[in-house]
């Protein structure tokens, strides 16, 4: 199998590294014969290719003529539509999240993939985080879920970077996708508030309240770039009727809180605190137990290419997540709830 990575900037180079590891170790039987690095910055493409024993090119036209089986697209989101639509007639594609800058572009990309009989996957990497699989097992019956909340906070891109979309497309898209994945449902409406940076015009902080009316579940998610360079938080909390599950995506830990061992309705303050702190908690760490999420995502994609199977991060899932993000931004601008069709 010949695999290309198109765009080897800050995140694309990680794809090259991970694919090179898959090639060396043939993880889960995935055999990569050649790796191709593509970037319009010729010096960058050559440098990354040399470091990872890969071929390189600086033009998409070269790639489409190289009999590439699958490509990972990690260019800025505003170029997703242009690049992916050029590649799909020739190969299967995994495009980084969000699937596109606009819903119309995302749908056109998906329809083209269907027309060409190609796989179009979206880089929703948290679906491959081992704690998400553990969380799905702990949740069990989705009808037991009462509430979901998340915080995804960290420094944004450099101020000089002009090709970026806002924090909703960058960070919020992860947590709303995981909520849809866990609940196997799409929210019916959203209410949101946001702050926009006056110099860039980008949204930098958003709080979105989604309503999954079919399940009677509310989900509140905050995504923010308004943080110092060393501050990062990636947590998700799911409340079931009889327990609370908290996930740390980065540390790959999951904590289950099952309530109080005893509950006293009367007594002094010290007794009240003693009862409240007597919570039953169980923690599980998966860090290092399984491979890193990026490798798991790429192995899944390449196995789907090999077998002709639909990936769990299909273009339809990416389209749904983008739709939820676009609706939240619209709700924030309006100052009122927006229905998600």
pLDDT digits (tens, 9 = 90+) for 219-252: 999 999 999 988 999 999 999 998 999 999 999 9
Say if residue 130's pLDDT is above 80: yes
Lowest mean pLDDT among 39-43, 85-89, 165-169, 260-264: 260-264
* pLDDT of 270: 67
Per the listing, tokens 């269907």 go with 114
Q: pLDDT-derived band of residue 26, with 50, 70 and 90 as boundaries?
A: very high
- 152 beta partners: 223, 234
Say if residue 278's pLDDT is above 90: no
Entry pTM: 0.93
Q: What does the block give as tokens for 270?
A: 């010290």
Sequence length of the chain is 341
**Sign of dihedral through CA atoms 140, 141, 144, 145?**
positive
Q: pLDDT-derived band of residue 341, with 50, 70 and 90 as boundaries?
A: confident
User: Which of 165, 273, 163, 264 lies closest to 223 in space, CA to CA?
Assistant: 165
**Domains, the chain, with CATH or none:** 2-125+293-309 (3.40.50.720), 127-291+322-339 (3.30.360.10)
Determine the Cα angle at 87 with ends 84 and 88, to 5°.
Answer: 85
Q: pLDDT-derived band of residue 290, with 50, 70 and 90 as boundaries?
A: confident
Lowest mean pLDDT among 31-35, 40-44, 137-141, 158-162: 158-162
Q: What does the block give as tokens for 63?
A: 């790639």
Say if residue 81's pLDDT is above 90: yes
Average pLDDT over residues 21-43: 96
* pLDDT of 17: 98
* pLDDT of 204: 96
Average pLDDT over residues 190-201: 95
Say if residue 160's pLDDT is above 80: no
* Average pLDDT value for the chain: 93
Average pLDDT over residues 98-104: 98
First to last CA, the chain: 40
Average pLDDT over residues 263-291: 70
Average pLDDT over residues 161-181: 93
Say if residue 263's pLDDT is above 70: no
Q: pLDDT-derived band of residue 272, with 50, 70 and 90 as boundaries?
A: low
């Amino acid at each position: 199998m010949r695999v290309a990575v198109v765009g080897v900037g800050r995140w694309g180079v990680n794809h090259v590294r991970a694919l090179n590891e898959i090639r060396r170790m043939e993880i889960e039987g995935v055999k990569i014969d050649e790796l191709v690095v593509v970037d319009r910055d010729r010096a960058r493409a050559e440098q990354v290719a040399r470091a990872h024993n890969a071929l390189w090119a600086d033009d998409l036209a070269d790639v489409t003529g190289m009999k590439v089986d699958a490509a990972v697209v990690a260019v800025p989101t505003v170029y997703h539509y242009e690049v992916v639509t050029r590649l799909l007639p020739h190969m299967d594609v995994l495009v980084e999240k969000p699937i596109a800058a606009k819903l119309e572009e995302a749908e056109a990309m998906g329809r083209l993939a269907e027309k060409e009989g190609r796989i179009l996957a979206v880089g929703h990497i948290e679906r491959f985080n081992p704690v998400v699989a553990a969380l799905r097992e702990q949740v069990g019956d989705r009808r037991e879920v009462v509430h979901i909340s998340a915080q995804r906070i960290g420094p944004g891109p450099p101020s000089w970077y002009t090709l970026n979309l806002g924090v909703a497309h960058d960070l919020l898209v992860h947590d709303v996708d995981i909520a849809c994945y866990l609940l196997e449902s799409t929210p019916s409406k959203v209410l949101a508030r946001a702050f926009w940076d006056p110099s860039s015009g980008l949204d930098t902080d958003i709080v979105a309240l989604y309503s999954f009316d079919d399940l009677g579940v509310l989900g509140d998610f905050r995504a923010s770039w308004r943080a110092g360079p060393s501050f990062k938080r990636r947590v998700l909390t799911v409340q079931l009727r009889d327990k609370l599950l908290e996930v740390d995506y980065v540390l790959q830990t999951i904590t289950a809180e099952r309530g109080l061992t005893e509950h006293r309705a009367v007594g002094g303050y010290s007794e009240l605190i003693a009862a409240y702190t007597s919570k039953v908690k169980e923690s599980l760490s998966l860090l290092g137990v399984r491979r890193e999420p990026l490798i798991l995502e790429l192995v899944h994609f390449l196995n789907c290419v090999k077998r002709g199977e639909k990936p769990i991060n299909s273009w339809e899932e990416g389209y749904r997540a983008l739709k939820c993000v676009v609706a939240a931004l619209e709700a924030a601008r309006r100052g009122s709830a927006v229905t998600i069709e």
